[in-house]
Structure 1
Amino acid sequence: MVIGRVGPGRLDLTELHRFPNIPLRLPTGLHWNLPGLFQGVLDGLSLAARTGGVASVGIDTWAVDYGLLDADGALLGIPHHYRDTRTAESAGQIRDLVGAAELYAVTGLQHLPFNSVFQLAAARGTAQLAAARTMLLIPDLLTHWLTGSIGAEITNASTTGLLDARTGTWSRELARLTGLDHTLLPPLREPGAAAGTLLPHIADCTGLPADTPVTAVASHDTASAVVAVPVTRPGSAYISCGTWSLAGLELDAPVLSEASRAANFTNERGIDGTVRYLRNIMGMWLLEECRRAWAARGLPTDLASLLGAAAQAQPFTAVLDPDDPVFLAPADMPGAIAAFCARTGQQAPRDVGATVRCILESLALAHRRTLRQAAELAGRDITHVHLVGGGSRNDLLCRLTADATGLPVTAGPTEATALGNVLVQARAQGLVGDLPDMRRLVAATQQLRHYTPDGDPRPWDAAAARLGPF
């Protein structure tokens, strides 16, 4: 939780509170500890109350996951985690039932087995879904607990697989075809809309005034991050890099061609009716899971030391496809990397430094592939790349991305999601202007780093060729 202060020539963040996000493995599968996360929100709001006046509160989270409410508004069970395996069969069943091309023609979404529509399909026939009267995506559910209001913010709703990409409305026909009751889907609202004010008991326990407004921001964390991409020139692409790398373009209209579907690109809503045309790439998850496994074995996991060893390691010992399903939720990420290398006829990295370099080079190649495909499918030229989010701190990844793409890279801001969240709230309060004004403010106030491509591109071409179309 952060507090942002916005004014003429001013945009700054202060971290108020940080709390763990540890999924729960229950007999019913993998779940979010949502009550624990909500308590973290309340603790952070209590700290915010001590800082002085709070003009607005806004919540963004990950996409696709949801909670179900019964007729009394009570939560039915603890929301599942998108890495739970229960959608393994339902995703294929829905694609067979509706047709992959037909699904894409309506939703424009990249096929990911954890899209909300597949999660809901996996819940068909359960007592929980039978009792449900409302589905709320996670940020909307947290907002509901703060305010009592019901709604679905559109940037996150666009990740469900139930929103019509052309009209920006729920597709009742798609809900019918997939066997879902369309009345589960709440009214849509745009970023910047008022979501209500704090409930009396929330005001009492946090110390904030009961009339404190809660604003619907771009509640999909990537949508908020893209708001804060400091674009100042045409031809810019973005990479929002954290657990996932989301790489693509901001467009005025969706790309719903068969070629786009075959390339598995997604068309998600952005602020002010824009379209986030991108692909999800498995991101720093690979490195973080390796660090977790190494820590369990008593190996050093200090990130600075690992990156230093990676910088000295031999380039291109192996190339991974980060999107291979084996990397989604393995029990042992280093083991999964070694197995992938064996399966593809490559020598596995021999030590932690080589493994880290292998991961970062593979991510840079995935960035290159995705941006080149996006440019071709959308009919755009890319002349510059903005890399935002936690991955922008990683100097080696930024440098490798510039070298792999052959394009200049601007890294930062690191806290793009929080900045985008705050900017949408600030605009609702009349403190900033339109989207270009927001981005100019980011460019003028945030620390950015610039990388120019360096070296011979031919080794990158050869590395990319090892995995064929990859």
Structure 2
Amino acid sequence: MTVARTVAAVDLGAESGRVVRAGFDGTRFEVDIAHRFTHSPRTENGILRWDMDTLSGEVTAGLARLDAGGGVVDSVGVDAWGVDYGLFRVDGRLVDSPTCYRDPRQLDAMKRAVDAVGADAIYDATGVQLMPINTIFGLTSDLHDHPGRVAAAEKLLMMPDVFHRLLSGSTSTEYTAASTTGALDMRTGRWATGLLTALGIPDRLMPEVVQPGTDVGELRGGFTGALSAARVIVPPAHDTASAVVAIPFTEPGALFISSGTWSLVGVETASARVDASAKAVNLTNEGGYGGTIRLLRNVMGLWLLQECRKQWRRDGADLGYAEIAELARAEPGLVSVVNPDSTEFLMPGDLPRRIQEYCARTGQPVPSTVGAIARCAIDSLALGYRRVLDAITAVTGTRPVAVNIVGGGARHALLSQLTSDATGLPVRCGPVEATAMGNAAVQLAALGEFSGVTEIRAAVENSADLTEYEPHARHDWAAAAVLLESLTSADGP
């Protein structure tokens, strides 16, 4: 395979990261994971924070491998999860380690902000789903509980742009990452300064917003090999935005599920939908590549299984995800369900116990085995996806006719089949590495290899291994959907 251009896609997830070498030969992508690592937040002085030493060290190690690998790497770009941010001093140093959106402080801060200005005012100013993880609620907590953080800061940068700054000195933030803050007016693409002022958040913190594909400077770090002349080109820096770029949609208006620690479930639209109907069902508008909007809702995602697995390991059962899935497959379906988005599942800890307590409190059979608890979680995720599908249909007036799943969750055969069963729609899974591919593709487009997203998706179609599922009518998903709606209403917003 002769590759015309090669780029480096740094893809940071909330549990793991990878540095990927990606090339394009005019027809197909070639994707090679040069470096993979795991990481997790840690508690410092009572606050859950990201381990920047590990993250920056592993990113540097991955780029060093590429640098020593021969050939030429033309550019580097970083994508990461949304909502979290770093605060920088005037001298360019971080004030402290960025805090994690799963810290309990966010729950109290959301209540404080809503009490101060009202939930309607927050949504009307931004068009962003109200969730305790949103950046504005972290900043609200900073102002109330840790005012020294804000006082010491000159500028806020979203997590992927923290790394763009470390790699190039850039002081801007990328549009799709900024769109997850709950502080950007998604109709205009500008900071919602009225909302920021009402919450007491200094607008001096908010950086220039640049579009995906922007060249923000030469790569720093003293690389002398393959990366010696590389530029830093920001991709769609929110990982879901990069993933959606690399979805080979089967039908116009198809539902996408970017499935990882979080599941982001939505459709691509031409403009933001900020109205009473979208607000009523708490849909969010997030920025996409090429001037698009992703109309979606966050669903808790594979976090439910990840945290259960950690607890089972602590209890002495060191099971892999494939083993857990097989145990779940052997269980009858829809015996018990939970609201996967309940805030009681947001924080780290003993999630199996919390699932059991939820089922007991809501008068359902209490799952007692690993397989039964996992089946409850997986059924609930599939139902959660159906619930978002119904909300999007109600708001747009058009029901999607297919589902595309990308990301790590595309490998989960049971969840994929149950998603097809729950929605009654055909499901197409892949590519697994959609985020890295979308990241790389936008860099390549900036370098002249693609004219836009249509060409990118055609190349992905040629390059990816895709798996398809058809719906089976094995369970009463309609009745289960009614139950989930009642559980969600009881849990509150």
Question: If the length of structure 2 is used for normalisation, what is the TM-score?
Answer: 0.92
- Match 1:118 to one of 137, 150, 153: 137
SS at match of 1:450: strand
CA contact (8 A) 2:392 2:399 kept: no
User: Which stretch has the larger CA shift, 268-277 or 171-180?
Assistant: 171-180
SS at match of 1:123: helix
| 1:311-361 deviation per Cα after TM superposition (whole angstroms, max 9, x unaligned) | 121112211110111111142011001000011101111211122211111
SS at match of 1:135: strand
- Match 2:300 to one of 275, 279, 282: 282
Determine whether 1:130 maps to 2:151: yes
SS at match of 1:91: helix
Determine whether 1:322 maps to 2:340: yes
CA contact (8 A) 1:364 1:400 kept: yes
SS at match of 1:240: strand
**For the residues of structure 1 that align with 2:139 and 2:423, how far apart are their CA atoms?**
38
User: Which stretch has the larger CA shift, 306-315 or 139-148?
Assistant: 306-315
Report matched runs for 1:22-421 at 5 Å. Answer: 22-51=40-69, 52-124=71-143, 126-199=147-220, 202-204=221-223, 207=225, 209-421=227-439
| 1:137-172 deviation per Cα after TM superposition (whole angstroms, max 9, x unaligned) | 111111101111110100010111111111111122
Determine whether 1:464 maps to 2:457: no
Number of corresponding residues: 466
**For the residues of structure 2 that align with 1:383 and 1:468, how far apart are their CA atoms?**
22
SS at match of 1:19: strand
**For the residues of structure 2 that align with 1:456 and 1:121, how far apart are their CA atoms?**
47
In structure 2, runs of 5+ residues without a counterpart are: 1-18, 489-493
1:8 maps to what in 2? 26
User: Which stretch has the larger CA shift, 287-296 or 119-128?
Assistant: 119-128
CA contact (8 A) 2:407 2:435 kept: yes
SS at match of 1:467: helix
Please report how far the alpha carbon of residue 259 of structure 1 lies from its aligned counterpart in structure 2 after TM superposition.
2.4
**For the residues of structure 1 that align with 2:191 and 2:225, how far apart are their CA atoms?**
37
Determine whether 1:17 maps to 2:35: yes
**For the residues of structure 2 that align with 1:262 and 1:93, how far apart are their CA atoms?**
21
**For the residues of structure 2 that align with 1:7 and 1:429, how far apart are their CA atoms?**
14
**For the residues of structure 2 that align with 1:6 and 1:203, how far apart are their CA atoms?**
26
SS at match of 2:189: coil
CA contact (8 A) 2:22 2:440 kept: yes
Please report how far the alpha carbon of residue 35 of structure 1 lies from its aligned counterpart in structure 2 after TM superposition.
2.2
| 1:83-109 deviation per Cα after TM superposition (whole angstroms, max 9, x unaligned) | 011222221222222221121112111
Please report how far the alpha carbon of residue 456 of structure 1 lies from its aligned counterpart in structure 2 after TM superposition.
4.5
Please report how far the alpha carbon of residue 210 of structure 1 lies from its aligned counterpart in structure 2 after TM superposition.
4.5
| 1:48-82 deviation per Cα after TM superposition (whole angstroms, max 9, x unaligned) | 11222101101000111111111211210111011
| 1:288-314 deviation per Cα after TM superposition (whole angstroms, max 9, x unaligned) | 111111111112412222222221211
Equivalent residue letter for 2:286: E
Q: What is the aligned-residue identity percentage?
A: 41
Determine whether 1:433 maps to 2:431: no
In structure 1, runs of 5+ residues without a counterpart are: none
User: Which stretch has the larger CA shift, 69-78 or 86-95?
Assistant: 86-95
Please report how far the alpha carbon of residue 209 of structure 1 lies from its aligned counterpart in structure 2 after TM superposition.
4.4
